[in-house]
Structures are given as C-alpha cells and as structure tokens.
Amino acid sequence: MEGVAVVVVPHLKFNQFQFFPIHHNSKFCRAAPCGVPSLTFKLKLKLKLKLKLKQQHHHAFPPISTATDAVSEEDSDNNNNNSGDSIRRRFLKFYESRGHKVLPSASLVPDDPTVLLTIAGMLQFKPIFLGNIPSKVPCATTSQRCIRTNDILNVGLTSRHHTFFEMLGNFSFGDYFKKQAILWAWELSTLEFGLPPHRLWISVYQNDDDAFHIWSNQVGVPVERIKRLGEEDNFWTSGVTGPCGPCSEIYYDFHPERGYADADLGDDTRFIEFYNLVFMQYNKNDDGSLEPLKQKNIDTGLGLERMARILQKVPNNYETDLIFPIIEKASELANVSYDTADDHTKRNLKIIGDHMRAIVFLISDGVVPSNVGRGYVVRRLIRRVVRTGRLLGIKGDGGGDLEGTFLPIIAEKVMELSTHIDSDVKKRAPRILEELMREELRFVQTLERGEKLLEEKLAAALWNAENNKTDPCLAGEDVFLLYDTYGYPMEITKEVAEERGVSIDMKGFDIEMEKQRRQSQAAHNTVKLAMGNGANMADNVPDTEFIGYNNLYAKAIVQSLVVNGDPALQASEGSDVEVLLNKTPFYAESGGQIGDNGFLYIAEGESQPKAVVEIIDVQKSLGNIFVHKGIVRKGVVEVGKEVNAAVDVKLRQRAKVHHTATHLLQAALKKVIGQETSQAGSLVSFDRLRFDFNFHRSLLDSEHAEIEGLINGWIQEATVLETKVMPLDDAKRAGAIAMFGEKYGEEVRVVEVPGVSMELCGGTHVSNTSEIRGFKIISEQGIASGIRRIEAVAGEAFIEYVNARDFYLKQLCSTLKVKADEVTTRIENLLEELRVARNENLCLRAKAAVFKASVIAKKALLVGNSKQYRVLVEYVDDVDAESLKSAAEYLIETLTDPAAVVLGSCPGEGKVSLVAAFTPGVVDKGIQAGKFIGQIAKLCGGGGGGRPNFAQAGGRKPENLASALEKAQSELVAALSEKGN
C-alpha cells in the first residue's frame, strides 16, 4: 500500500517538518503518522493543489510540505520550469521564503589575497565563517558564478567538468544547523524540483552518525542508499588549521535498475553529485585536534549546470540550455552538425561552449588578458578556444572574412544568456568584444609563428637523424613549447610531423604537461581560512569609528597594540607598533587612496607630550578595524591609555586634491575617448595620482590637451562638491559610478561634482574644485593588453612639478646657449649631426671588415671528390655584428658557387656574433644556413637562425667561440664531402 505524508508546519521560525519512512521493495514511500489513509493518484493531486493554494493564501508563513511517490518521472517532464534561469530563480525563492537573505554574486575577482579567482560560493562569507566580522543576516542564499581551471583538460571529456559554473548555495551563520539543512535540501530536491526519491543516494562522513540518522530515520532514505565515505571525500577543511567539518552529499542515480549491490558513487556513468552540505562545526588546531566551534555554520553548494542536466534529461551538462546555444553557434561557424559529429568534434565544441562563458564573465569583471595572474588564466582560455576553433575548421569570422574574428560572434551569444547571471555583462559588451577581437588577432599571428617554428624543429629533427643514423623524432619539450608558448595544437603538430616522417616523443610531452598541471593545481585552488593571532587579538575589539571626514584631530583610547608582529600591552621608544583605537580621524587605505600620516600624542601635563607615535600608514584589517602603523618616537604607549590623534593636515589635503582630480579625470576620459571606457585600477597618493583604464591604443597629443583642458576648466569653475549617504540601489539608479576594487554595503557614500561626475566613493575629497588649483598629465602608457595608465599631478604637487620643469628648462637653455623657444630646433640639429657621424662610423667599420674579408678569402678550403666546394670558417677580430654581416656578404659574392662561409667575432665583453652564408649550390644539397648556425651558436651559450642562404646568431660565451668554429668547419667539410661523393 502506498501512502502520502501530509506535513503540518508549526508556527516556528523555520519549517520543522518530519518524514516517517515506509519501504516497499525498491520504492521509497513516506507515510503520515496516525494512520492517514491511502489515496488514489487523482486524490493525491487534488490534495497537492489544495496545499499549494493554501500556501498562496498564507504566504507570510513557511510553506507547507507534501510528498508522494505517485507523481511519476514522466509527469515531471511536463514541467516547463526546468530552464537554467528557472532553476536558479526557484532555488533562491525557496530559501528566501524560509528566512534567507538573497545576496548578489560576488565578482570573479575576489577581495582575498589567498585566492586568485572566486572558486566557491562561500568565498564572500569567509570573514564571517572565520569570526572576523559579524554577519548582518542570520542566513543567506546566493547564486555565485565561479571559475576553476585545475581540471581544464577534463572539460568536454567528462559530462560535468567546467571552468565556469554557477554554484547555488544556502548559508547559515550560527542560525540553523545539520538537521534543518538536510531536511530543506531534501524538500528542495524532491518537492520543489520533483526528483524521484528512489533515484537519490546520500553520502555522509564515516563518523557522522548524526547525519546518517537524520537521513535514515527522519527523512526516510533507505540505509542501502546512504554511503559512509572517508575524510578525503566527505570532510571539508579550510586549510592546515581553521574551521572544518563533515560533509553530506546528494547524488542522482541515472540507472536505479542496477540495484544496490556494489554501487559506487564515484561511477560517473551512473551517479552525479549535485548538492553538497558542509557542516562547519569544528576548529582544527595546530596539533590536528578538533574542538567544537562556538558558532556552528552551514555552507552548501548545488551545481546549477548539474541540476539542469538532471531536470532537462540531457546526457551531459553541456547540452543544457545554459551552454548548448553557445555550442550551436560554434557549430554554425564551423559548418558542422553537433548531432551527427564524432566524439572528438563534440568535445571541441564543448570546450568552446564552456570556455567562452568563462572568458566573457572574466573580462566583464575587469580581468584583461596578460601573461601573469588572472590575466594569464583568461589569455590561456582565449588561446585554447582560438586553436580549438581552427581545429574545427573555423577560418576568420566563419562567414567568409578570413581577416575577421569569430570569438566576438560567439561572445554575443554568451551575452544573450547572461541577463539573469549578471545584468552588467551586456552593458560592458563593447569593451568585451573589442578585447576579444584584439586578443584573437594577436594570437592568430602567434599561431603563424608557431607554424614557422614547427617547420624549423622538424627540419632539425630530420637533420639530426640523418647525421646520427637514427629515426627522426620531435622532442617532447619542443612539442610542449609549441603547445604552451605558441598555442600550437598538439594534434596538428602530430599530424604535420607524421606527414614528414617524424614521430613525436609523447612521453616527454606528457611529462611537461604534468609539470604544468601540478603548478596550476598548486596556485590558489583552495580557500584558505585560518584562526591565527590576528583573529584572537581582535576578538574583543569592536570596529573603529572613523570620524576623519570632518575632523583631523580627536581624543581616542588605545584598544590594542601589536609590537614586532606580536600582541603587547605596551610599546616602548624605538618600537615598530600597530595601534588599534576605538575611534580615529586617520583615513585607512582603501579605494585606491593611501592611508593618512600623522602622530599620536599622550600628554604629560598641559603641553608636554609624555609619548609620541609617528603614524606612517593606516590599513583596514578584519573587517572595519583600523590598524595605525608607526614608530614610537618617544616614551611608552600602553593599552587603555587616552591619546590625541592628529592627522598631517598638509598630506591629507594633497590626498584629497588627487582623489577628486581622479574623479574629474574619469569624467574627462569618458567625454574624450568614449563612455564605454572604465576604470581598471587607481592610486591616490600625496605626490601624484595614477589611473588605469580600458582602452586599446595610446592617447593622441590632442586628446591629452583636451582632457587637461576639461579638467582645468572644471577646477576654474569652483564647483562645490556634494556628498550624500544613500541606499546602494538608489545610488545606482541616480547614475553613480562604482570605483574599481571597492566593496559596497547596503548604504553607500556618493560623491558628486554637480554636472561633471557622480561616484560611489568612501575616500576623502576637497569641498570645492578650486582647491585642486591645477592638473597636469605627466605620463600615459600601456601596462597590459587593452589597459592604459595615466599618471598626473594636482594641487601642491602640480605647482612643484611646474617649478621643477621650469628649473630643468633653464638649465638646458644655459647648456645649449639658446632661448627656451629655440631648444627644440637646437636638439634636432644635434641629433642630425649625431646620426650623420654614426653612419660615417658604420661605413668605415664595414669597409674595414670587407678589407679583412678580402685578406682571408684565400684561406677557403676545397672539399668534395672534385674539390668543387669552397668552405671558409674564420674568426674576424674587432668586428661588430653588422660589419660581420657585410664581410660575409662580400665573401659569398667573391667565392664562386658552391661555397659556404661561417664567420665569428667577439664584438664586446661577454658577446659572440656569428654569421653563415651559403650559395645556392650548398643549399640545394640540403644544408641550410639558419639551422646550421643555430646549432653552432648553442655551443657559445646562445642561438639564432634565419634564411636557408643567410643567417645570424649570437651567444654569451666568447671562451667557446674557437671550439665552436672548429666544429662548424669539421661539420661543413664532412657534410659537403659526403654530398659531393
């Protein structure tokens, strides 16, 4: 007999429901207590509808839960709410209705120095889990976008690995714990998402009897479907020490017909883990022992792509509506059909679908391609997509323009799907598309260079094999160099090599690949939490009250001291000290603005200070605690004492001037080069400002002048600034611009220069633009692909800069004996005279080298059976590289064909110059100058190459030049003697 569980929810803070299990063969049924009668399928549906209506009329209370096995898997197919966007929305709504605050996804660029990218949903809550800052809400729910690249080689190969994915999570900060987390996870899975209970398996930590009994006795999962797993699988740790706890995971069974016997949850062909519950209940000590946490927390993660795969009933995550439209666009460009494609082609299409999501969201969050850090991650992904597209046959833009690009076309499809993930992506579309176009074009050129390098490596392999009488083989490190540095696909390398009769050292390639994989996995792939001295020190220290917007002087109490890195009760003269005050007028470094300087005084009597601390920096730590870093210049500072805190007024004014000038600079840039440009970093210092922004080229002199003109015009207008505190949403609606790298709460500070700019900013600013006095750009340069940097001065620093430049100009006028307006003409004349003199010198050197060459021409050796080959290998003293080239050109024209010339010289300390020149008669015999001289240069600690008939090389070991030239001669003689037979 089948039963139905009708759960009546008590009027409590949370839904405390209870399941009572009944087992019928392989079916999993839940029966109500107190003999609720069996219902027909039709009656059950009516009851379910009635309960849903009741929930609608009593929306202020937690929802009533029902459960029945009578709703078949086929019925759930008719649900139209299984799109990826719907799953995300339903998850967040489910937990919001149960008291959770819905919080936005954090950026992929985390505010955490221990992690390169946001790799987990819990990362934004790390300070709360550590106990460093209190939570503003008892529990929260998020849809967090994440990036992980440690499994990049599994993308497309398995059904579930991704570089970009969304993690749906519910979090409790000391509010509810294990039982409630488990009950809600089950209710969400079986009722909200309608997963058949008999298809769900559970894993728990091997010693976590509490979780086991909740799943078995209260939820009603058969013990046969609950697996106890070890520490490696089901015990979460944040690091060597710190918060930790057991996990429990929910798995979906694609093949329940296989039964219980020998079921392995690690079998990807049968199971997929979709929900992970972490019960953060212990603190791990240095000795490995576990102690219970005062506040037990819940950290969960449900993979959106995995749940979409289950509900949409597709064979892998890639064929869900979250990714498959991107794959279809790539298929269209490649002119292939995904449905009829072979496995290799499908994998390549999946790689493009996955990576393009990661690329678009990374660039949207401010990461630009580069060769370091986060920039390297996005560049590597871009290059992998480009070369994968070429493997699929995509040429140019895929539509006939071979000079075009295809990444922006696919990116537009990603943006179409981004609305409910991050609405700002579409707003940033011009910058994203421009960055992709520029990076793809640059990489295509790199690929072409890789093709040339491959040809050289194959020729060298054939030449070595011929000389050593071995089978030609391309070294594994060379294949990896082509793959990793030049982005040349290994598959193409292998195919081209086989056509030339050259095998590949795949073992060597795999070794190099494994080295890179280990390095990648070691780089910031875990979230590190630790409870060290810093956290202990701050246990009883409240947030610092900042009063520095309106006051530069205040009396405060010393709350805590750190001397030479350790907590202390006092600090004596000469000590490096960190001081925590209950309130402060000192600005702590944030939003690009550096911390204030100044002094702390402890008075003795009415006028004489008993102790003096010079403050040289102020930083924020552990949330909103201000750490005043300085040196005790006099006396002793003690915890609990009152101090007079005084900010250096002149330095504060310099910082205020530069910070407001930064806002004016951003406004001017948007007017001059386009509204799509945005800030990518800043520094507000006492002596200058630095502003990084997205742009693809250097600014023109006319643009510099226009920017400076706008800013100095706004300064002259003497506009009064307006500062307001308002809700974040209101500020955004008003058009306020967020400063790069700044984190915002629900209430934000808005700084407005009326008619010019409005920005969210916690920094200090002038009250009137006239205080800035003047503005001047002192430099503008590129610092990364698509990122420019302007450095400028304003206020007092502007006056100092102008005075210094005037002083230098006067000195220059005195030296050149001209007036200021004649300096440019005089310098141009001097440069022209210098250029003429250098050309005359080079001409004389070349003539000297040619003369030396004419002397040594008679030393050429005649080799071969008919003595038809001329070989000349010589050292030429006191000749630079360019003159050596002239000497070789003279000799190759003087000696009759066939002839081979190799010359070497030492043009300076620690330098070697080599040149090889071969006539057509030598080249036709298979001896190429570029490959030959490159091997010889290696003996001198260098390298080089060039054309088959002429090549140059260099080195750093002059002491090896004589032996290198001897080897060159012997190899040429041997090769040409053999060729001539």
Binding-site annotation: residue ranges for Zn(2+): 659, 663, 761, 765
User: Nearest Cα to 646, choosing from 595, 594, 584?
Assistant: 584
Cβ pair 422, 145 in contact under 8 A = yes
Alpha-carbon span 444 to 435, nearest angstrom: 14
The dihedral through the CA atoms of 754, 758, 760, 765 has a sign that is: negative
Place of tokens 């490696």: 232
Which of 611, 552, 538 lies closest to 580 in space, CA to CA?
A: 538
The Cα 517–Cα 596 span in angstroms is: 44
Asked if 435 contacts 442 with a C-beta cutoff of 8 angstroms, the reply is: no
Nearest CA to 239 out of 285, 194, 274, 300 is that of 285
960 φ, ψ to 5°? Answer: -100, 0
Q: How far apart are the first and last CA of the chain?
A: 97
Among residues 872, 980, 868, 858, which one has the least CA distance to residue 926? 980
Distance CA 706, CA 704 (A): 6
- Identify the bridge partners of residue 846 per DSSP, sorted by sequence position: none
**Percent helix, strand and coil across the chain, each rounded to 5?**
40, 25, 35
Q: In what order do the strands lie in the sheet with 689-694?
A: 679-684, 689-694, 787-794, 775-784
> What are the φ/ψ torsions at residue 875 (nearest 5 degrees)?
-95, 130
Prior bond of 134 cis (ω within 30°): no
615 contacts 586 by C-beta, under 8 angstroms: yes
Query: Residue 618: which of 606, 626, 609, 607 has the closest Cα?
Result: 626
Interhelix angle 429-468/929-938, rounded to 10 degrees, is: 90
Angle between helices 796-816 and 649-673 (to 10 degrees): 80
Q: Which residues contact 139 (CB under 8 A, 6 or more apart)?
A: 95, 99, 100, 101, 170, 171, 172, 173, 175, 176, 298
Round to whole Å and give the CA distance between 93 and 116: 31
Q: Which of 336, 354, 332, 355 is nearest to 345 (CA)?
A: 336
